[in-house]
Structure 1
Amino acid sequence: MMDAPHGQISALVSLIANAAKVIEAQYATSCKPVVPSLDDTTPHPFDSDVSPLALKTAIQTLEGACAQLCATVARPGDTILNKCMNIYEPACFEVVLTSNIPDILQETPCGMSILDLGKKTGIDPAKLGRILRYLATKHIFREVTPDVFANNRLSMELLSSNPLSSLAMHFADENNKSAATLTETLSDPDWGHSCAPEHTAFNKWSKYPASLFSWYEGATPEGAKQGARFGVGMLGWGKSVEASSVITGFPWESLGENATVCDVGGGIGTMTMQLAKAHSNLLLKLQDLPERIEQAQNEVWPQECPEAIRDQRIEFKAMNFLTESPIKGCDVYYLKNIIHDWPDNKVVDILRNVRGAMKPCSRVLIHEYVLQRADRVTEGDSPFEQAPEPLLPNYGVGRIRQYALDLDMMVMLNSQERRLEEFVALGEEAGLVFVKLWNFGEMSAAEFRLVRDE
């Protein structure tokens, strides 16, 4: 048995205080130089901008240290019991989102009674009030006066006009219900050790015999509905995890004039459009399955980025990255959130197909979570800068999303997020050599080049 080091509580409190000072100083530099109150429903500029790395790291330190401090000082049974009872949070999310509570509350920003909410939703007012009070106690919504609730800074993210509400419904609906069958799936003598995408907790719950991808592509009316919702939700995901940090965090300008970047499996080109607008030196290629490319070329880009079409800086070409190579001879092959959807053997196939298109100086940039370990190592042995002691070296709760998404991949696809050494090994198997890890504060990018013959 090991006792906590003397002074750990004070050290965690010091980390919290110092992180708070950094956060306040960062907010003071914005055009709205205050940290908004939870009761403030007006968006802050930092809510949509890419956060400065110093602000992002300070917030992660604060989140991790607060959680670790509470876990340290509270009775262990209290902490475990609270975590067990977190199962009610997604259930409450599904209720308020399905009944459009955030949108209804916008009708009366000063607050609406549960009686009026009950009339508008058809839900028993007393039961709805209990659900809203639980969420308000977790700082989502606020109880203005007894049984009168209003939106706050957090619940505004759940408005139907915000893509994050669609993502919240994905987690509260098919994801949460699938996760409930995880034990049953792992203990199945056939499925438990399988990496097949049709042997998942999602399949146990849905009774659907094929992969989540085909479910979302319209195998059933319910699957098509959830797939459309998930597509919208991905916009909210990208904003929340600041995926666009790659636009400023990677040296695109150094590639030179008319450098070519191929977005492999890029969907409608959300990231490619951002590259087009931020880096005029780039010539862009967007590749995905035919229906996504048709949507991008004929609907999305003419509306959202017509200048790239006008200036002939974007090329659209359909492909299946599992069986085909992308456009040959590009300077960068960019894969965002592609690899984590597939088991190792399929990842190697994808990377080999990319390798077949590369020229000697081409780079491959794999942009997604790179999992950090929770054990502290000698400083020079970690690819990431470790959090200051006594905080967990991976920032603990401050960076919990990468581990939550890893479980999401297991539950829904039988795939995974990966550690850097796993990326390196898969790249080597495909004939690529690892060059550098680009850390953007939450997501990262692993850069690879061709293995050069001796």
Structure 2
Amino acid sequence: MSQELDLSLATRPNNTAAVPAILDEFNSLYSTLETGGEATRHALVLKARSLLHALQSPREQMIQHTWADPGLNAAIITGVDVGLFKLMVKNGVDTPQKVSNLAGPLGVDPVLLGRLMRHICAMGHLVETGPDEYKPTNFSKSLSLDVISAGYSALLGGIGRSPIEFNKFLRDTNYQNPVDAAHTAMHSAYNTDLPNCFEYLRSVGLGPQTNNHMGGYRQGRLPWSHPEIYPVAETLFAGADPSPDAPLVVDVAGGLGHDINEFKALYPNHPGKLILQDLPVVINDVKGIDPSIELMSHDFLTEQPVKGARAYFMHSILHDWPDDVCTQILSRLADAMKPGYSKLLIFECVIARTGAHWEATAGDILMMTQLSALERTEDHWHKLIEGSGLNLKITKFWKCARPDVENVIECELA
């Protein structure tokens, strides 16, 4: 027999009984923040979220999800688009600024700008210093940086309808798990026949913002080559061909070169040479990386031109594709690898079987709604790499203590 819920449940706090224990745990964690570093800070963020959820009512959560958060996104995307946050930083990061003084240089109706900034403030991202007068927080200051603001322009402004209309896509596909890269919720939401969301974003002029976001979302994370994650000297340098022309690391689809440039900075005296590969439209935008890094145009679905490298590296590439396309990508790399010498290093999220981290699950939904792709569990990685007839094997998952940092999945020829 079904049971009807009393509507009053939606207007009461979710779990006030849990508050004392959450506060005790929060205070205990906070006392170790200086020594615990980023891992402790991440744990504190989760506890703070638990506290908020315990105190909020379901009704308040519903209003936040359906009114406040979409409204905030609309305000931030517009602010990024017109240059609001860059102007505020230019005017002085700690200077109170009036809406009327900002509206003119931005070319925005002051009434409109005031309404947008009022909501950004109400959501905690500006500090109110008077009527229609604000100064930025650290977050809104950071929106003046392209690598931070670009995600709002690209993911929300460019392809934000895909997750919102995902239910319609699922309705039309009988609620099947999406696995077709040529038929995604993005294709449906934007009525496009372009190959994927990256091509679509480039077609609407958001290619640079997409590239910036690729560099922005990984800010603050340890690079794959950091000794806390992967022992580069022991696993790559030892036994490597010392010839200056011998390829040491090929960064496949490496975007604007953030990873390979960090590698160069960490290991300036590395043996061999470093190579950055991506599509011509991306390689043409590469700027400011070490000049010794070779730039090479390459499509990873075609034959890998660099044979026998010590390591082929991919960061957050395979999560963009369902298994059938990943198998094609991996086969090209396996064909280029030298038995007993070459390694394939995949730096990707590995979703925990239980207690999955929110960035991992968010990434999984993002991949599903935009690309019919996914973030993978350890079991799924074994199935993809070792169960697809690729002659590859996983030798180790190199893990970081921080839950938001990807694993290095080290592979060799079987």
The TM-score normalised by the length of structure 1 is: 0.76
> 2:161 — aligned with what?
177
Contact 1:267 / 1:293 at 8 angstroms: preserved in 2? yes
Report SS of the residue matched to 1:81: helix
Contact 1:368 / 1:445 at 8 angstroms: preserved in 2? yes
Q: Residue type matched to 1:435 in 2?
A: T
Contact 1:427 / 1:448 at 8 angstroms: preserved in 2? no
Report SS of the residue matched to 2:345: strand
Deviation at 1:192, TM superposition (A): 5.7
| Structure 1 counterpart of 2:41, from 46, 59, 66 | 59
Cα deviations by residue, 1:157-192 (Å, 9 ceiling, x for unpaired): 111x43211222213302323322211111113896
Report SS of the residue matched to 1:238: coil
> How many residue pairs were aligned?
383
> 1:387 — aligned with what?
none
> 1:89 — aligned with what?
72
Contact 2:308 / 2:336 at 8 angstroms: preserved in 1? yes
> 1:418 — aligned with what?
376
Q: 2: distance between equivalents of 1:129 and 1:108?
A: 17
Contact 2:211 / 2:256 at 8 angstroms: preserved in 1? no
Q: For structure 1, which segment, 92-101 or 114-123, has the greater mean C-alpha deviation from structure 2 after superposition?
A: 114-123
Q: Within the alignment, does 1:288 sit opposite 2:301 as a pair?
A: no
Q: 2: distance between equivalents of 1:151 and 1:438?
A: 39
Cα deviations by residue, 1:315-348 (Å, 9 ceiling, x for unpaired): 4444322232352222222111110111101111
Q: Within the alignment, does 1:104 sit opposite 2:87 as a pair?
A: yes
Cα deviations by residue, 1:360-393 (Å, 9 ceiling, x for unpaired): 24322111222224x4xxxxxxxxxxxxxxxxx3
Kindly report structure 1 stretches of 4+ aligned residues shifted beyond 4 Å: 4-8, 190-194, 314-317
Contact 2:392 / 2:412 at 8 angstroms: preserved in 1? yes
Q: Within the alignment, does 1:147 sit opposite 2:136 as a pair?
A: no
Q: 1: distance between equivalents of 2:408 and 2:107?
A: 50
> 2:254 — aligned with what?
266
Report SS of the residue matched to 2:374: coil
Contact 1:287 / 1:317 at 8 angstroms: preserved in 2? yes
Q: 1: distance between equivalents of 2:76 and 2:379?
A: 37
Q: 1:421-440 counterparts in 2 under 5 A?
A: 421-428=379-386, 429=388, 430-440=390-400
Deviation at 1:137, TM superposition (A): 2.6
Q: Residue type matched to 2:343 in 1?
A: R
Q: 1:333-352 counterparts in 2 under 5 A?
A: 333-352=312-331
Seen in structure 2, the aligned counterparts of structure 1 residues 89 and 431 have a Cα distance that, compared at 3 Å, is farther
> 2:118 — aligned with what?
133
> 2:309 — aligned with what?
330
Q: For structure 1, which segment, 147-156 or 68-77, has the greater mean C-alpha deviation from structure 2 after superposition?
A: 68-77
Q: Residue type matched to 2:47 in 1?
A: A
Q: 1:248-397 counterparts in 2 under 5 A?
A: 248=227, 249-254=229-234, 255-256=236-237, 258=240, 260-279=248-267, 280-289=269-278, 291=280, 295=284, 300=287, 303-306=288-291, 309=292, 314-325=293-304, 327-358=306-337, 359-373=339-353, 375=354, 393-394=355-356
Q: 1: distance between equivalents of 2:89 and 2:411?
A: 51
Q: Residue type matched to 1:269 in 2?
A: G
> 1:51 — aligned with what?
none
Deviation at 1:193, TM superposition (A): 5.4
Q: 1: distance between equivalents of 2:100 and 2:278?
A: 49
Taking CA–CA contacts closer than 8 Å with sequence separation of 6 or more, which of the two structures ends up with the larger relative contact order?
A: 1
The answer for unaligned runs of 5 or more in structure 2 is: 4-13, 242-247
Deviation at 1:290, TM superposition (A): 5.3
Seen in structure 2, the aligned counterparts of structure 1 residues 102 and 283 have a Cα distance that, compared at 3 Å, is same
Question: Percent identity between the aligned chains?
Answer: 20
| Structure 2 counterpart of 1:116, from 82, 101, 106 | 101
Seen in structure 2, the aligned counterparts of structure 1 residues 329 and 185 have a Cα distance that, compared at 3 Å, is same
> 2:10 — aligned with what?
none
Q: 1: distance between equivalents of 2:16 and 2:191?
A: 53
| Structure 1 counterpart of 2:366, from 383, 394, 408 | 408
Report SS of the residue matched to 1:244: coil
Contact 2:250 / 2:277 at 8 angstroms: preserved in 1? no
Deviation at 1:210, TM superposition (A): 1.8
Contact 2:72 / 2:120 at 8 angstroms: preserved in 1? yes
The answer for unaligned runs of 5 or more in structure 1 is: 27-53, 376-392
Deviation at 1:146, TM superposition (A): 2.0
Report SS of the residue matched to 1:247: coil
Contact 2:96 / 2:135 at 8 angstroms: preserved in 1? yes
Contact 1:361 / 1:449 at 8 angstroms: preserved in 2? no
Seen in structure 2, the aligned counterparts of structure 1 residues 347 and 333 have a Cα distance that, compared at 3 Å, is same
Report SS of the residue matched to 2:301: coil
Q: 1: distance between equivalents of 2:165 and 2:15?
A: 39
The TM-score normalised by the length of structure 2 is: 0.83
> 1:383 — aligned with what?
none
Seen in structure 2, the aligned counterparts of structure 1 residues 277 and 283 have a Cα distance that, compared at 3 Å, is farther
Q: 1: distance between equivalents of 2:155 and 2:279?
A: 28
